[in-house]
Amino acid sequence: MKFRRNRICIALLFLIWIGGMLYFFVSNKDENDKGEISVEERNKHIDNGKLSREKDRIERDINVANIVKDPKFRNNEQIDQRSLAKFDWKGYQLRGALKPGEDKNQRNAYNQEASELLPWDRVVPDVRDPGCRKKSYDKNLPTTTIIICFHNEGRAALLRTVVSALNKSPEHLLKEIILVDDFSDNPLDGEELLALPRVKLIRNNQREGLIRSRVKGADMAVGEVLTFLDSHCECNEMWLEPLLQAIKDNRKIVASPIIDVIGHEDFKYLSSSSDLRGGFGWNLNFKWDFLPPNHLIKHQQDGTAFILSPVIAGGLFSIHKSWFEELGKYDPQMDVWGGENLEISFRTWQCGGEMYIIPCSRVGHVFRDRHPYKFPGGSMNVFQKNTRRAAEVWMDDYKKYYFAAVPSARYSLFGDIRDRLQLRKDLNCKSFKWYLENIYPELKIPDDDVTSYGQIKYKGREDCINAVGEKSNVVLRVLPCRGSGGKDGDKQDWSWTKSNQIKHESLCLSGISKKSEEIVRMVPCVATDNFQKWKYDEKAAALINLGSNLCLDNYNVGKELMQTECKGHDTQSWKLAFTSTG
């Protein structure tokens, strides 16, 4: 009888153990399921625009002062799936999710709903050149610190950036991921990510902008190499090793991946062409250039070969920490964002460094149509201040072409540059002429034919002629002048040439024929074309086209400008707010 009781007890204990194990696996699967969040599931956690009490209850055991002053690891430092699986990714995303009826594109200038419906650790297509898969890399590569700055970033996109970096980076090479929260509205956006391995957090106590935030992260970094990522990226297979190998082989290389496109509307991951490199125009706006023929031939022969880039896009790159510091980090008097990529590119090339796109490294990036946040002082003013600082320090006499392309930049307050000029002297840097001749000979130097520049005002009003649209389809409209509520003030920059052409960037204002009430166009400049030549009648305040003898007219107010018979109408009255280049 006693033996039978023992058997029954053992059987009961066994059944209890089996039940416990089943409960553990089922509950663990439910909590950490890596599937997508459905629309219904997301909305289930939101009640009249407020998160449910259950999801709103967050452990606040993080000392914010310590985060700012002494970033520390929290929980498990090992990068493995078990430690990642413990993270409540659904809860993290849901606490920052869209509210019912909220515009899905308003917060972040991308489709936040589409972003939130994706897995937190989705697999992106491996789009590397086949030759990259055959490459091997040294085992003793330098370690890196990944620095990600963010301000009110969508939680799903920020989380995928961090998790993809953790998943796709060899554990022995990744020292840490430093998140720099540039004073986001919700400090928990960054704090809750401290539950992930190797993540540190710095939170600014005021808006500093990308430039100064990156310097804060760099100063705190312990890795030998600094790797900067934007906060809406996804790292691809073996993205890190090629960057670190390039820097190990040459400490003064700035290494950038090929930047693939993540659609801002559907979040599809699309492979970018490897036949592109960074460039710019004289307005100092970054652009992508096709590889020049001599570089293209080399790249077609070997798809893994480094691509010399005159400038980098700036959002994603690696640089040795000691070289970054020797070069002078970023210009600390540049504000928020914009122009810093050109400045560090000029400085790198002119001061003994090199800059390459590494084709075997690929990282996806969400490219947006607009900035989702406001710039103190306005985005145009910030960009002009930053680019003028770059021009004044690095471009020597060639800055005159920048001022010809962006006349309003002459009036931008750009601060004290003496320390940056001293840095250039201390580093024994080369001239901008050397840079153009040796690094970017494809940048055409404009003719010295500009005599004056400025805005063309609709007389008697604070409205100006704007060149609206892309180069292939620029139209002319009268809109509020810069400083009077107008946006995109650089679209109001005009130059008058020695041949009496009115230029905006590389295009000229032109009549098409001698027909009255015909729309005027922006066309490629031809100095001998009389339809591109104008005369300003100061008495009548009229702009007269020499090819048609007709006057520029704002006849259809709010629509495109046209040419009409000169009759002294108010709609034909203009004021040239120009400054002489002499």
Give per-residue pLDDT as tens, 229-261: 999 999 999 999 999 999 999 999 999 999 999
Give per-residue pLDDT as tens, 171-192: 999 999 999 999 999 999 999 9
Q: From first to last of its 582 residues, what are the pLDDT tens digits of the chain?
A: 544 555 665 666 656 556 555 544 444 444 444 445 544 444 443 333 333 333 333 333 333 333 444 444 443 345 555 568 789 999 999 999 888 889 888 888 899 999 999 999 999 999 999 999 999 999 999 999 999 999 999 999 999 999 999 999 999 999 999 999 999 999 999 999 999 999 999 999 999 999 999 999 999 999 999 999 999 999 999 999 999 999 999 999 999 999 999 999 999 999 999 999 999 988 899 999 999 999 999 999 999 999 999 999 999 999 999 999 999 999 999 988 789 999 999 999 999 999 999 999 999 999 987 777 666 666 778 899 999 999 999 999 999 989 888 888 988 899 999 999 999 999 999 999 999 999 999 988 876 788 887 889 997 778 999 998 876 678 899 988 865 333 455 688 888 999 999 998 889 999 989 999 999 999 999 989 999 999 999 999 999 999 999 999 998 876 899 999 999 999 999 999 887 765
Under a CB-based contact definition with an 8 Å cutoff, are residues 131 and 302 in contact? yes
The rounded distance, in Å, linking the Cα atoms of 210 and 336 is 5
Predicted TM-score (pTM) of the model is: 0.74
> What pLDDT, on a 0 to 100 scale, did the predictor assign at position 470?
74
DSSP-derived letter for residue 166 is H
Contacts of 343 (CB under 8 A, 6+ apart): 330, 331, 334, 386, 389, 390, 393, 394
The rounded distance, in Å, linking the Cα atoms of 174 and 223 is 8
> What pLDDT, on a 0 to 100 scale, did the predictor assign at position 22?
52
> What pLDDT, on a 0 to 100 scale, did the predictor assign at position 25?
45
Query: Domains (ranges, CATH) in the chain?
Result: 84-366 (3.90.550.10), 450-580 (2.80.10.50)
DSSP string, 378-447: -HHHHHHHHHHHHHHHH-GGGHHHHHHH-GGGGG------HHHHHHHHHTTPPPHHHHHHHT-TTSPPPP
> What pLDDT, on a 0 to 100 scale, did the predictor assign at position 38?
47
> What pLDDT, on a 0 to 100 scale, did the predictor assign at position 9?
56
> What pLDDT, on a 0 to 100 scale, did the predictor assign at position 485?
37
> What pLDDT, on a 0 to 100 scale, did the predictor assign at position 50?
36
Helix (H) or strand (E) holding 14: helix 2-32
Helix (H) or strand (E) holding 167: helix 155-168
Give me the half-sphere count of Cα atoms (radius 13 Å) on the Cβ side of residue 82. Answer: 4
